[in-house]
Every structure is written in structure tokens, then in C-alpha cells.
Amino acid sequence: MSRHSWAEPYKIKVVEPIRMTTREERVVAAREAGYNTFLMRSEDVYIDLLTDSGTSAMSDYQWAGMMIGDEAYAGSRSFYNLVEAVHDVYGYEELVPTHQGRGAEHILSQILIKDGDYVPGNMYFTTTRFHQEHAGGTFVDVIIDEAHDPASLHPFKGNIDLDKLQRLIDEVGGDKIPYISVETNVNMAGGQPMSMANLKATYELCHQHGILVMLDATRAVENAWFIKQREAGYNDKTVAEIMREICSYSDGATVSSKKDNLVNIGGFLALRDPELAKAARALLVAFEGLHTYGGMSGRDMEALARGIREMVGTDDHVHARVGQVEYLGDALIKAGVPIIRPVGGHGVFLDAKTILPHIPHDQFPAQALTAALYIESGVRGMERGVVSAGRDKGTGDHHYPKLELVRLAIPRRVYTQAHMDVTAEAVIDLLQHPESVTGLQFTYEPESLRFFQARFEPVA
Ligand code: PM9
């Protein structure tokens, strides 16, 4: 029988009730949270699309693993299960476990970046750039221009622009670039993949100049799925095979296990070079925990080892995951809502600049739209625009990214298609009256990673 539709490769065994609030309650909740969805209580949210990070539903097999996690301080059996899973699925020999992705970014940045170094990357990520700058480096964006254009239908908007990279190498010299940070399925570009051909070419260019290639493999499985769909020669390969090939063009990776890996907490730095791993472990024991647990408990590591195998166990998993995101994206495209296209792997991104042309960029259109969507519908998204981009360290001015977005990130295996329908209706209804949304101004602006804890009020 040939299949025309896909369906989730699981059925639901446990449910968690959610509660619809009244508009009056949400007006108060938004004001009390300073119009920042990070500062809201989850109990005040109906459909929570703040993030796909740490919000996945684990399988019964993972929960069973939680019961047999080995909580030994040193040499936990669960750690060795994790080492084997990372080796089998990603292909790296050296594992440095951390409490989550930014723990791995911290350690990688500290062991490789010196004051005055440059770290190129395919668009910035907030915590990644923070740690690069914190270590004395300067981030340089070398993603292709199409990534900054919401309407471009380029199939691999996460690609590195090799000319931009070559220009940087010519300008500053390879010895000032310890590594390139290559993100799979680029989050801030809208969950956009890079092609295998581009990754391979990047690896070759970097190795000619003695520059290491470090992946941010946080959403590599979603990237592998897009390669299978879009790149010639990969349709007959499994996502597991494509994953191994992706990692083969790298010297290591940081991973936030709270995404692809299907757990609620955890992460790791994986490396090939044992000497580099030794340097990483020296810092690990000071900042995260012993080298056989990082920041994780034994049960966390057991569930993670199982999640890593499960994410590539069958292609049906990632098909259904990306398929659900596409379902929401397609409903919005059909209704004429401007979103980042092609629809990304982990969420749908509303183009706030186009939706709210009356709000100047320094009054934070995406932050304002995120708050308005919550107030009107109880759906919680996240700003990914000027607030997230922060300020230039030198001039103190806002970074003004070309993309000013509201991200609706879909947790894995959590919501149903009906939740996607309700979300699409909420966005479409709100866009009937975009002029009712007003700009925002800071009442509190943290010095770094300001989007997490900033507070706002409507501009009078
Ligand atoms: N990403 C997200 O919602 C959670 C924090 S919001 C800033 O998208 C990449 C590509 C990520 C990521 C987190 C991290 C950091 C690194 N790289 O949150 O520390 O998307 O586990 O990972 C979030 P941790």
C-alpha cells in the first residue's frame, strides 16, 4: 500500500492537562511579565511554543531508562552508555558531558579562543556568540545572503558563503581563526539547513588553513532530514547514515541535548583530538562536574543515551517532527501570513517587520507581536529580532538584524495537529488588526543575553 499521508510513529500514554485563560487574565499576566514571554508563568499559557528546548515528551523506553540510571559519582554505567550512543550515532571518540548546550560552548570557547581571535559562523546564536565574546573572540557572520531574506526559497539557507570565509582568512590570517562554528539547521535563520556539499567544501577550505571545524549539532537530525529531501544523492540514505556523514566533516561538536536528543536537560561537547579533550576535561571538573557526568545525573544520561538512538532509529520520527512544523507553516502560508520560507525544521517564524510596518525597529516589532499574540490567544512564542541580537560591544548601539521574527517553536511529540490548527487561527485572527499592536520600550535592560530577563512597557 502506498502512503500519501504521514502520521506520528507513536501513540499517547500519559497526558498533562492545559488550561485556557481569559483575555483579562492574560492582559494582567503580560503586564506583570514586562511583556517578555520568558518572564511568564507556564500556568498562564495555553499552547506553549516558547521553545523546542527541553520541552520534548520522552518515550516509555526513556522513562524506563530513568529508573535504572546509575547514580554513582564516578564511572557511572549510564555515562558509558552515553559514550557509546554518541560514538555510534555521531561518530566522535571523545565525550565531554555538560549540563546543557551552553556549558559545552563555554568550555569549547575557553580552550580554543584567545584574545583578539575571530570566530566565523553561519549566523550568530545568542549563547554561542556570548561565550565566543566572553573568551575574547569576535564573531563574524559568513552565512549566505539568502539567509537574511525571509522570502528567499533557497533550499539550503544555512550554507556558508565560502567567499566571505576566504575574505576573512585573507584579512586576518588563518592563525587568528581557531575554528569555524558551523550550526546545523540554523536556528536564528528560521531552522534552515546547510547542504552536505557546502559542509564538505567548508571543511576542506578550513583544513587548508589549519582552522578547525566545530559543529553546533544541536539540530543535526532535522538538517539530515532536509538533506535527504533536497540534496541529490541522499534520498536513498537513512537519516542515521546522513548524520554520520555530516559529523565526518568536523573536528568536534557542541550539542544541546534538549532539542534533537529528546531529553529535558543535558548536553555535550564531542571531540576527535584526545589532547583537546584533556584540556576540556580540566575545565569541566571546575565548571560542570566530574568528567563522567558533567552536569547530569545518572538517570539524565541514561535517558539521553536512549534519546540519541531513538532520534535516528527510524526516519519516521523526524519525518513526523518536521511534518508537523510544515503543517503549521503551510496553514499560515495559505492564509497569506508572511513567514520565513521555506518552512524550517523546529518552528515557524513570523516576519514581524512586514506584519507591523508601523512599528519602528527600535520599538521592537517582534517583541510587541509576541506579546500581542499571547494576549489575544494564550499562545506563547519568542522574540528573535533586535532584542535577541543585543548591543554591539564597541559602539553600544543595538545590533539591527535583517530578520525581525516571532518564533513559534514546536516541542517534539507534545502537541497534536489540532493544537497547530488553533495556533494558525490565533495568528490569522491577530493579523486582521495589526495596527492595534503598539511598540515597546525597555523598563529594564540586562547587560548581556538581554532577551531572557528584559522588561518592557508599551510606548505611549
Ligand atoms: N536554544 C532555543 O530556544 C534555548 C535557549 S534560548 C536562547 O532555541 C543552539 C543552536 C541553540 C541553543 C539553545 C543552544 C544553547 C546552543 N545552540 O539552551 O544551553 O538553539 O542547552 O543550548 C534555545 P542550551
Q: Is the pLDDT of residue 177 over 70?
A: yes
* pLDDT mean over 5-12: 93
Reported as a pLDDT band with limits 50, 70 and 90, residue 393 is: confident
Q: Ligand 1 centre from 323 Cα, in Å?
A: 22
Mutation pick for ligand 1 pocket among 122, 256, 296 (CB with most ligand atoms within 8 Å): 256
CA distance linking residue 118 with residue 132, whole number of Å: 9
DSSP state letter for 174? G
CA distance linking residue 361 with residue 17, whole number of Å: 38
Question: Is 140:121 a contact under the CB 8 Å cutoff?
Answer: yes
- In 3D space, the residue among 383, 381, 258, 373 whose CA is nearest the CA of residue 308 turns out to be 258
CA distance linking residue 21 with residue 253, whole number of Å: 42
Q: Which residues line ligand 1 (CB under 6 A)?
A: 51, 53, 100-102, 125-128, 183, 187, 216, 218, 256, 258, 267
CA distance linking residue 76 with residue 69, whole number of Å: 8
DSSP class per residue in 399-446: P--S--EEEEEPPTT---HHHHHHHHHHHHHHTT-GGG---EEEEE--
CA distance linking residue 233 with residue 108, whole number of Å: 33
Q: Is the pLDDT of residue 253 over 90?
A: yes
DSSP state letter for 135? T
Q: Ligand 1 centre from 187 Cα, in Å?
A: 9
CA distance linking residue 385 with residue 372, whole number of Å: 16
pLDDT in tens, 116-159: 999 999 999 999 999 999 999 999 999 999 999 999 999 999 99
pLDDT of residue 413: 98
First to last CA, the chain: 61
Mutation pick for ligand 1 pocket among 48, 56, 125, 288 (CB with most ligand atoms within 8 Å): 125
Q: Ligand 1 centre from 101 Cα, in Å?
A: 7
pLDDT in tens, 31-43: 999 999 999 999 9
Q: Ligand 1 centre from 54 Cα, in Å?
A: 9
pLDDT of residue 2: 65
Grid cell, residue 198, equals 557546502
pLDDT in tens, 66-124: 999 999 999 999 999 999 999 999 999 999 999 999 999 999 999 999 999 999 999 99
DSSP class per residue in 262-303: --SS-EEEEES-HHHHHHHHHHHHHHT--TTTTT--HHHHHH
pTM of the model: 0.97
Domain at 23-52+315-458, CATH from 3.40.50.300, 3.40.718.10, 3.90.1150.10, 3.40.190.80 = 3.90.1150.10
| Element spanning 55, H or E | none
Sign of the CA dihedral with 51 first, then 57, 61, and 67 last = positive
Domain with CATH 3.40.640.10 in the chain: 60-311
- Nearest CA residue ID for atom 5, ligand 1: 53
Mutation pick for ligand 1 pocket among 55, 119, 218 (CB with most ligand atoms within 8 Å): 218
Reported as a pLDDT band with limits 50, 70 and 90, residue 460 is: confident
DSSP state letter for 444? E
Q: Which residues contact 373 (CB under 8 A, 6 or more apart)?
A: 379, 381, 406, 426, 427, 430
Q: What share of the chain is helix, strand, coil (3-state, %, to 5)?
A: 45, 15, 40
Question: Is 45:378 a contact under the CB 8 Å cutoff?
Answer: yes
The atom of ligand 1 lying closest to the CA of 382 is 3
Q: Residues of the chain with pLDDT > 90: what percent?
A: 98
Q: Is the pLDDT of residue 3 over 80?
A: no
CA distance linking residue 343 with residue 437, whole number of Å: 25
The atom of ligand 1 lying closest to the CA of 102 is 19
* pLDDT mean over 1-27: 91
Q: Ligand 1 centre from 258 Cα, in Å?
A: 8
- In 3D space, the residue among 451, 428, 327, 431 whose CA is nearest the CA of residue 382 turns out to be 451
Catalytically annotated residues = 73, 125-126, 216, 259, 384, 451
pLDDT in tens, 402-417: 999 999 999 999 999 9
* pLDDT mean over 305-322: 98
- Nearest CA residue ID for atom 21, ligand 1: 101
- In 3D space, the residue among 187, 28, 78 whose CA is nearest the CA of residue 122 turns out to be 187
Q: Ligand 1 centre from 256 Cα, in Å?
A: 7
Helix and strand element counts for the chain (H, E): 16, 14
CA distance linking residue 394 with residue 276, whole number of Å: 31
Q: Over the chain, what is the mean pLDDT?
A: 97
pLDDT of residue 5: 83
Domain 60-311 is of which CATH architecture?
3-Layer(aba) Sandwich (3.40)
Reported as a pLDDT band with limits 50, 70 and 90, residue 1 is: low
DSSP E strand boundaries for 83-236: 94-98, 118-121, 138-141, 179-183, 212-216
| Element spanning 346, H or E | none
Domain with CATH 3.90.1150.10 in the chain: 23-52+315-458
Q: Which residues contact 138 (CB under 8 A, 6 or more apart)?
A: 117, 118, 119, 132
Grid cell, residue 243, equals 548524520
pLDDT in tens, 189-244: 999 999 999 999 999 999 999 999 999 999 999 999 999 999 999 999 999 999 99
CA distance linking residue 61 with residue 32, whole number of Å: 40
